[in-house]
Amino acid sequence: MAKAKQHYTCQNCSATYTQWAGKCDACGEWNTLTEESVNSGIGSGPGKKLGKGRPAKLFELSGETIEAPRIISKISEFDRVCGGGVVNGSALLVGGDPGIGKSTLLMQMAAQFSRLGHSIVYISGEESVGQIRMRAQRLEADQTDVLLATETNVENILATLDELNSKDKKPALVIIDSIQTLWSDRVDSAPGTVTQVRTATQAMIQYSKNSGTAVILVGHVTKEGQIAGPRVVEHMVDGVLYFEGDRNHQYRILRTVKNRFGATDEIGVFEMSHSGLRQVHNPSALFLGNQDQQSPGTAVFAGIEGTRPLLVEIQALVAPSPLGTPRRAVIGWDSQRLSMLLAVLEAHCGVQLGKHDVYLNIAGGYRIQEPAADMAVAAALISSLSGKPLPAQSIFFGEVGLSGATRPVNHPLSRIKEAEKLGFKRAFFPKNTKEQNLKLDIEKIEIEELSDLAGKILVDQK
């Protein structure tokens, strides 16, 4: 056997070094190098002599296919995010900040699957059986057949699952809470280190592929927004879901980041209550303020998350600045994009904001990621500067270029339909938007240049 070698692995980017250093050269982080040994198991790298291999079976690409069988929870917010249910034998990673509600979500999902007749094993390395039972009672998940274990050793977990298999009680789904607590006998490093997490993940993935049991791994995210330590886990699993939200608000979003069996960019919206998470079927209502009392500086943006429309309120406050360099503060949108939009407003619309503080906030703690919000943000800014509310019951969407020209964005029809469903009467969107000729009751106002928008919203007051 090869002699055990020590090396140092960066816990942030998993770069390896033979010598310790204070700073990782690869990612620039300080104090992230930890000693780990590479005597065996996955990731042992070169060093061992290559043995003689067995040839793998070769297939033709044009063979028979079958639609991957899935277990479906009938909780549509969850199923949609997984691409229509959890695929048998797949491995999913659910990441999120500590305390955001991952354990709560997965306990509820475990109970739901169990109620539908699937056998589920929930393995926790973080809480005691008593704590988990207490939570299950609160979530009304206790009267189900979910099996519970508190174990952190990978070999023991696999032995437990093998025993179930041999008794013909193979589970449909195993939930591991969390991947950072797992450790394997095969490596010497401490739990939570890159080597341990990678080895444990590899072992669980192998189990899921061999047995056909789906595995959901929970992972804590570091403050930088990465699954603690290893990004490698994300590459290994079939799907990555992020559970996010602002802890001061009650809503939570489950977002698909990677999915080998379906679309990404889907979201599921949940609301945290005293008795656990509830799915929100109409998330637009959550992010909209009172539409009857329009105040200057608020505009409604018709956004798209994945395949699904979502209306969000954008709030802007523009006020004369006492400072030489006015303040720009943004919550929930890209601050670079705001700077660009302010420059376009000044250059092409004659809107002077150089001596004004500008604050922009997206209601409900939501984060907008698409450039389609440009027109809505511009409308909110103009409205706040002029002190006039925007035309009532209006939505805005569209991208703005540096020349001040608007650009059509994707899914215009679903955006408009969602607005119509919620009782909006007017839609402002870029000229040349494809669905403009469709028969809809909503009044459609096409905008070619950002300066047209300024003119329209300030003149068309009713």
Q: How far is the CB of 212 from ligand TYD (least distance, A)?
A: 27
To which H or E segment does residue 413 belong? helix 412-421
**CB nearer to ligand TYD: pick between 152 and 433:** 152
Cα(453)–Cα(448) distance, rounded to whole angstroms?
8
Peptide bond into 386 cis (omega under 30): no
Give me the amino acid identity at 404. Answer: G
Q: Which of ligand TYD, Mg ion, none binds 186 (CB below 5-8 Å, type-dependent)?
A: none
329's enclosing H/E stretch is strand 328-331
**Pairing status of strand 426-430 against strand 394-396:** parallel
Residue nearer to ligand TYD on the CB measure, 89 or 101? 101
Nearer to Mg ion, 197 or 300 (CB): 197
- Position 181 contacts Mg ion (CB under 5 A): no
Q: Where on the chain is the footprint of ligand TYD (CB under 6 A)?
A: 96, 98-104, 135, 138-139, 272, 274-276
Binding partner at 104 among ligand TYD, Mg ion, none, C-beta below 5 to 8 Å by kind: ligand TYD
Rounded to a whole number of angstroms, the minimum distance from the CB of residue 267 to ligand TYD is 17
Identify which of residues 103 and 196 has a Cβ nearer to Mg ion in the complex. 103
CB of 250 to ligand TYD, least distance (A): 8
> Considering the complex, what minimum distance in angstroms separates the CB of residue 313 from ligand TYD?
25
98 binds, among Mg ion, ligand TYD, none (CB under 5 to 8 A by kind): ligand TYD
CB of 242 to ligand TYD, least distance (A): 11
Helix axes 335-349, 450-459, angle to 10 degrees: 80
Out of 103, 152, 193, 394, the only residue in the binding site for Mg ion (CB under 5 A) is 103
Residue closer to ligand TYD, measured from CB, 177 or 418: 177
Q: Given the complex with Mg ion, which of 103 and 184 has the nearer CB atom?
A: 103
Residues 6+ apart with CB under 8 A from 127: 103, 135, 150, 177
Taking the complex as a whole, the smallest distance from the CB of residue 98 to Mg ion amounts, in Å, to 7
Within 43-153, residue ranges assigned H as helices are 76-81, 102-115, 129-138
**Residue 419 CB, nearest distance to Mg ion (Å)?**
38
In whole angstroms, give the CA distance from residue 217 to residue 124: 10
83 binds, among ligand TYD, Mg ion, none (CB under 5 to 8 A by kind): none
- Residue of 435, 57, 155, 163 lying closest to 147 (CA atoms): 163
CB 30 within 8 A of CB 22: yes
φ/ψ bin of 139: left (φ > 0), alpha (ψ from -120 to 50), beta (otherwise): alpha
Q: Considering beta carbons, is residue 39 or 226 the nearer one to ligand TYD?
A: 226
Q: Kindly state the smallest distance separating residue 369's Cβ from Mg ion, in Å.
A: 26
Show the binding pattern over residues 226-245: x = contacts Mg ion (CB under 5 A), - = does not. Answer: --------------------
Instruction: Tokens 């056997």: give the residue.
Output: 1
Distance CA 112, CA 298 (A): 40
212 interface partner picked from ligand TYD, Mg ion, none, CB below 5 to 8 A per type: none
297 binds, among ligand TYD, Mg ion, none (CB under 5 to 8 A by kind): none
Looking at the Cβ atoms of 217 and 330, the one nearer to Mg ion is: 217
Considering only the stretches 96-104, 142-150, 266-274, 298-306, report the one whose residues sit in contact with Mg ion under the rule CB under 5 A: 96-104
452 contact partners, CB below 8 Å, separation of at least 6: none
Minimal distance in Å, beta carbon 269 to ligand TYD? 16
DSSP state of 371: G
Q: Give the binding range for Mg ion (CB under 5 A) out of 103-111, 188-196, 345-353, 452-460.
A: 103-111
Kindly give, in sequence order, each residue whose CB lies less than 8 Å from that of residue 70, ignoring residues fewer than 6 positions away: 82, 84, 85, 86, 87, 88
Binding residue count for Mg ion, defined by CB under 5 A: 1
Smallest gap from Cβ 239 to ligand TYD, in A, equals 18
Which C-beta is closer to Mg ion: that of 6 or that of 275? Answer: 275
Q: Exposed (0-12), middle (13-18) or buried (19+): which is 165, by Cβ within 10 Å?
A: middle
Rounded to whole angstroms, the Cα distance separating 394 from 401 reads 22
User: Judged by CB, which is closer to ligand TYD: 96, or 125?
Assistant: 96
Taking every pair of Cα atoms in the chain, the longest distance, rounded to a whole number of angstroms, is 83
For Mg ion, which residue has the nearest CB? 103
DSSP string, 359-372: EEEEGGG----SGG
Contact between 427 and 329 under an 8 Å Cβ cutoff? The reply is no
Binding residues (CB under 5 A) for Mg ion: these are: 103
